[in-house]
Amino acid sequence: MAGADFAEFRERYGQWAIVAGASEGVGASAADLLAKRGLNVLLVAREADRLQKFADDVRRRHGVEVQALSQDLTAPDAAHRIVEAIAGRELGMLFYNAGAVRNGDLFLTQPFELPMRMIQLNCTTPTALIHMLAPAMVERGRGGIVVVGSLAAMCGAPHIAAYSAAKAFQVNLMEGLWAEIHDKGVDVLEALIGSTSTPGRARGLGVTFNPEVDMTPEDVAADIIENIVSGPTRIVAKVGTAGTGPLVKPWTEFRHVAVNHMIGAVSEFNKRTKPADS
């Protein structure tokens, strides 16, 4: 995508994009791609020094406006602080790339604060951001909302019970939002990613890159950016050898059929329950 295609992209998703979880990995790769397409970007992440260095690099290479906001996405006021930072600017893209609060213990042996942080990070903060930022997109009739999820959303799993539950919440929220606003010009995408070789994973788990199973952050981000219109859900993963292959196709097909069925069912229910004219 280049030239005229970049101009079309800017028209649909400009002038500003928020990328939450932007200092490295998929978030940083997505921010770089959005800036390359001419969008100004507000980068949000916890580590101020790393974030500012990346912001300076993006600004230098792409010639766009870049703002860095050091913000813990698990903080109760995270969404409000992000919205305050973008105030007065036309926001056309929200790219929410929340990571995991890493802990491999069983649910009942974890400190209670860990699953609660997971819920704040993956559920509460993105819900608040979408609720505050999407109305302006709908009013303009253009924009995009992307939440980066995980194949863990397909079912519950031991050692990641809260994580898989939080990611499942994201899927339902984004599917419902897609049903409500995608025909108003706002693209909504939940990108369920598989095994991805990120710096955070390498530091936290010591897992090295396996080309048969892993995708790179750059490839994941590129797939998502190129397919924002492919909502409500999209699988971005090498699923053939990752142990999830047999689940992906039937799960994805069911979700798409189910969402469209629910659109019709809810519409019919609303007609039946509409008060009669007095």
Type of residue numbered 225: I
Report the alpha-carbon angle 46-218-13, nearest 5.
75
The residues carrying an active-site annotation are: 163
Type of residue numbered 75: A
**Within a 10 A sphere around the Cβ of 206, how many other Cβ atoms?**
7
Where do runs of H (alpha helix) occur along the chain? 4-13, 25-36, 48-62, 78-86, 113-119, 125-140, 161-181, 199-205, 217-226, 245-273
The Cα 10–Cα 22 span in angstroms is 20
Sign of CA dihedral 151, 156, 161, 165: positive
Q: Please identify which residue in the block is written with the tokens 């559920």.
A: 123
Tokens representing 130 are: 């979408």
- Fill in the DSSP letter of residue 230: S
